[in-house]
């Protein structure tokens, strides 16, 4: 049986109290669906858990031409919200594809954005990791994926993050010296051991998503072993504005292929003209070239890379013909 380490649970009632309670041996806990399994695996042993469950719940609303989502919104609430389904359908879809209903009922958007990176050599029991001789991200000095002593390439495995990046979202962070707003694209760094550019103790409070322009169409496609529960082996977020079969803007972000989601460049060349089957093939090839999955998570990297093109072709054809 896997047991949790001993800790004290604090239950602040305001974000300010939560931030004031933070110290280097404490961690925030929202739904706990990422954090608690990790603690059971001996990945961290904080002295205090600062539960966010008693903080006021801000819900989902429209404010100054943007969708404002409180970090404590559960993935189920996000998936079912009429506002989100109407204004940012790929976000509702991505939330609906996370894990299982029970996990979506407890897991929050804030926790989904900030969840730890994942790796087959890391997300294991302490016994398993010890038998292997540990790895760079926890207790060891060697990466078993790339075979080196410096870089960890564990995968950023959130389903909502690629979509939020495509929607140009930003996050509100509350720290000891006040609140700041950070573009989501500036939150991540290419380092699976330390992939979030957060100041110590910063609390994610709200997520801002600009209201999409008229003609918006987008989707999120997910490759995984079992549709009922698994993390992504690859995530593909597409968003854009369309006039008939002509994309006016197009954004594609690939998730779960490394420590940071990968935006695909050079898509402007396909905008402002009808998107033909040949154009879709060319974009699928751009995505394939830009997607370099590694062996940190399940699935042959070459097959996942090839699937990025297949998923792009299918998703773009459906969006064009919608
Ligand atoms: C079996 C299983 C399958 C899963 N499948 C998927 C999947 O398919 N796709 C996917 O994306 N995820 C998956 N997850 C991971 C997880 O359930 C979700 O990512 C969930 O959204 C995490 O949210 P949470 O509120 O439970 O986060 P928590 O576990 O509470 O927290 C996660 C991390 O974020 C920090 N944190 C949380 N909220 C805040 C905040 N407001 N401010 C600062 N720090 C904060 C915590 O300290 C912790 O480090 C799965 C988990 C399990 C156990
Ligand atoms: S990518 Fe390498 S260092 Fe990172 S968790 Fe996996 S084995 Fe460890």
Q: What digits encode the pLDDT tens for the residues 221-237?
A: 999 999 889 999 999 99
Residue 67, number of CB atoms within 10 A of its CB: 23
Residue 310's domain spans which residues? 216-320
The C-alpha atoms of residue 206 and residue 229 are separated, in whole angstroms, by: 26
Residue 104 lies in a domain: yes
What integer pLDDT is reported at residue 18 of this predicted model? Answer: 98
d(CA 121, CA 285): 31
**Would the CA dihedral through 72, 111, 307, 240 be positive or negative?**
positive
Phi, psi (rounded to 5 degrees) for 105? -70, -30
**Ligand 2 contact via 192 beta carbon (within 6 Å):** yes
Nearest atom in ligand 2 to 154's CA? 1
Closest-CA residue, ligand 1 atom 14, reads: 99
Q: At which of 179, 210, 241 does a domain end? A: 210
Encode pLDDT of 93-131 as tens digits: 999 999 999 999 999 999 999 999 999 999 999 999 999
On whether both 82 and 206 belong to a single domain, the answer is: yes
Q: Which residue has the tokens 């006039």?
A: 243
- If asked whether residues 77 and 204 sit together in one domain, one would say yes
Minimum-distance ligand 2 atom for the alpha carbon of 153: 1
Distance CA 307, CA 55 (A): 41
- Overall residue count recorded for the chain in this entry: 322
This prediction has a pTM of: 0.97
| Most informative mutation of 117, 121, 128, 157 for ligand 2 (most atoms within 8 A of CB) | 121
User: Separation of 136 CA from ligand 2 center, angstroms?
Assistant: 6
Residue 25: both structure tokens together? 């041996």
Query: Residue 64 — pLDDT band, cuts 50, 70, 90?
Result: confident
Give residue-wise pLDDT tens across range 127-166: 999 999 999 999 999 999 999 999 999 999 999 999 999 9
- Burial (Cβ within 10 Å: 0-12, 13-18, ≥19) of residue 4: exposed
Which residue has a Cα nearest atom 50 of ligand 1? 99
Looking at the structure, tell me whether residues 225 and 243 fall in a common domain: yes
């Amino acid at each position: 049986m896997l047991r949790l380490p001993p800790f004290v649970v604090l239950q602040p009632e305001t974000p300010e109290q939560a931030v004031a309670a933070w110290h280097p041996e404490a961690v925030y806990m929202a739904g706990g669906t990422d954090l608690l399994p990790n603690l059971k695996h001996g990945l961290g042993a904080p002295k205090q858990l600062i539960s966010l469950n008693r903080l006021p719940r801000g819900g989902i609303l429209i404010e100054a031409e943007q969708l404002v989502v409180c970090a404590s919104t559960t993935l189920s609430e996000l998936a079912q919200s009429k506002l989100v389904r109407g204004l940012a359908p790929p976000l509702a879809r991505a939330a609906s594809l996370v894990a299982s209903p029970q996990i979506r009922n407890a897991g929050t958007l804030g926790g989904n954005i900030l969840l730890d990176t994942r790796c087959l050599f890391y997300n294991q029991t302490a016994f398993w990791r010890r038998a292997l001789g540990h790895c760079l991200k926890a207790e060891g000095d060697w990466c078993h994926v790339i075979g080196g002593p410096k870089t960890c390439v564990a995968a950023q495995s959130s389903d909502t993050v690629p979509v939020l990046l495509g929607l140009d979202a930003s996050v509100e962070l509350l720290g000891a010296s006040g609140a700041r707003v950070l573009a989501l694209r500036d939150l991540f760094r290419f380092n699976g051991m330390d992939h979030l550019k957060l100041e110590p103790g910063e609390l994610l409070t709200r997520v801002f998503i600009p209201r999409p322009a008229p003609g918006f169409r987008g989707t999120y496609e997910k490759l995984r072993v079992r549709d009922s529960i698994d993390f992504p082996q690859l995530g593909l977020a597409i968003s854009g504005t369309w006039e008939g079969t002509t994309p006016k803007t197009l954004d594609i972000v690939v998730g779960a292929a490394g420590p940071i989601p990968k935006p695909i460049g050079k898509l402007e060349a396909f905008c402002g003209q009808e998107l033909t089957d040949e154009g879709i093939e060319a974009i699928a090839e751009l995505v394939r070239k830009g997607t370099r999955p590694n062996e940190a998570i399940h699935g042959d990297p070459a097959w996942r890379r090839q699937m990025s093109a297949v998923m792009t072709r299918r998703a773009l054809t459906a969006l064009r013909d919608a």
